[in-house]
Amino acid sequence: MRSFNFDVMDVMNADGYCRVVEGSKWIKLANKMVREGRATLVENSRGFAGYGSSRDISYWRFNYTVTEKVN
C-alpha cells in the first residue's frame, strides 16, 4: 500500500468562485484514481493562506493524502 501527500492551493473570489492555482495535476490524478476505485483520498488539513490584491480574493491551502488500495 503506497501513499502520497500533496498540497493544493485554491483561490476564491467574493462570489464564491473557486479554482485550483497550484497542485491541480495531483488533485486531478487522485480524483481519477478514487473514481476508478483504485485509491482513497483524505483531506488532512486546510488553512487560510492570505488575501490577493484585494480582500475580494482569498487563497486557501489544502493538504491531502492519497492511498493506493491493495488488490
Total domains present in the chain: 1
Tens-digit pLDDT profile for residues 50-64: 998 888 999 999 999
Say what the pLDDT of residue 52 is.
87
CATH number reported for the structural domain that contains residue 28 in this entry: 3.30.70
Print the domain residue range for 50.
Answer: 3-68
Neighbours of 66 (CB within 10 A): 21
What's this model's pTM, rounded to 2 decimal places?
0.86
Tens-digit pLDDT profile for residues 3-25: 999 999 999 998 989 999 999 99
Say what the pLDDT of residue 54 is.
83
Say what the pLDDT of residue 8 is.
96
